[in-house]
Amino acid sequence: MRTSDVEFRSGGDLVRADMYLPDGGGPFPTIVMAGGWCYVKELRQPQYAEAFVEAGFAALVFDYRRIGASEGEPRQHLDPWDQIEDYKNAISYLETRADVDPSRIGAWGISYSGGHVLILGATDPRVRCVVSNVAVVDGWNTMWRDHGSERFRELRQLIAADRSKRFSTGEYGYITMSSAPADTLATWPFEEVREVFEELQRTQAPRHEHRSTIASVEQLLDYSVYPYLGRLVNTPTLMVIAHQDDITMWDLETDVFNRIPTPQKKLAVLPDTSHMTLYSNLSALALAAHWAAQWFTEYLMEPASVARLLSL
């Protein structure tokens, strides 16, 4: 496996990425990848990318604008539509590379980007197939259920106050990504989220910042994949869910899967797994990566390449 630092422009900002390549000259089928809420490219995504390279794919893992190694202000502002545009510009960058086969590009996402790739697959015809892991599919209902009614009211009041202040001063307010429910108001009110991300920041992703703009949460409340599902008519789609996921809500994810019209779809359920154990349990991660690699092999590999892999 070969890796290199690459960069491309998106929305006027410089986006930085890691390119993973298998041995050989290509052109390779390629997976475009980005993370979820406040992720940086070093956070767990290299393990998935390495699994894809082992299966014969190239992989591009990038930091969104305003996050991690990429440029852009305000820092830690998570605009989902800008992030989807970053995915599209990442694909445009891949089209310029001689070692990438532009007719065989797949999209992979997890958590917030698990929703992004469903929208991407519905709106960008260059995406041949999609793998969506433990996806955020409806921001409003997810936040309401995560917080409970009283804390959800507090969150909405914070958003309203921040909007007024931002109008007056031009300054963005910030909110911590996660904390215990009894502690300060956070976007994801789970101690397990804080514990896992702090450990990942310490061990593999030092650029991770455990906060976002409050405006990011306002945009999350308006975020939904539902209007786009009917357009996934001819895009093979794998959705991986954790059967105990009460953070991004397995039942909402299952409802989304059932509404996708393509017959080329699959729902894979990680047994005895919650949302965060997919990050802390490497066996669960390896299983999700294996399923994704199989899906990409089925829909992106040339027939001769598939036959050769199956014979190994």
% pLDDT > 90, the chain: 95
| Under 8 Å between Cβ of 5 and 62 | no
Q: Which two tokens stand for residue 227?
A: 């209007």
Strands of 265-270's sheet in order across:
2-10, 13-21, 58-62, 28-34, 100-110, 127-133, 237-242, 265-270
Could you tell me the two tokens for 125? Answer: 């015809």
**Each residue of 197-213: pLDDT tens digit?**
999 999 999 999 999 99
CA separation (Å) from 143 to 131, 237, 249, 263, 275? 23, 25, 10, 31, 15
3-state secondary structure of 56: coil
For residue 25, name the pLDDT band (cuts at 50, 70, 90): confident
Q: What number of CA atoms fall less than 13 Å from residue 309's CA on the CB side?
A: 16
CATH of 2-138+225-310, one of 3.40.50.1100, 3.30.230.10, 3.40.50.1820, 3.30.1330.40: 3.40.50.1820
| Cα–Cα distance for residue pair 295/60, rounded to 1 Å | 17
pLDDT value for 182: 86
Q: Provide the residue ranges of all domains of the chain, joining segments of one domain with +.
A: 2-138+225-310
Beta strands in 122-209 (DSSP E): 127-133, 174-178, 186-188
The predicted-structure confidence for 59-74, as pLDDT tens digits, reads as follows 999 999 999 999 999 9
**pTM for the complete prediction?**
0.96
| Residue, of 86 and 305, whose pLDDT is higher | 86
What's the rounded Cα separation, in Å, for the pair 232 and 15?
28
Assess contact for 294 and 106: CB atoms under 8 A: no
Residue 302 has pLDDT above 90, yes or no: no
Residue 304, pLDDT > 50, answer: no
Is 120 in contact with 130 (CB distance < 8 Å)? yes
Amino acid 303: pLDDT: 60
Q: Of the ranges 26-30, 183-187, 303-307, which one carries the lowest mean pLDDT score? A: 303-307
Residue 229 backbone class (left: φ over 0; alpha: ψ -120 to 50; beta: rest): alpha
Whose CA is closest to 163, among 203, 115, 222?
Answer: 222
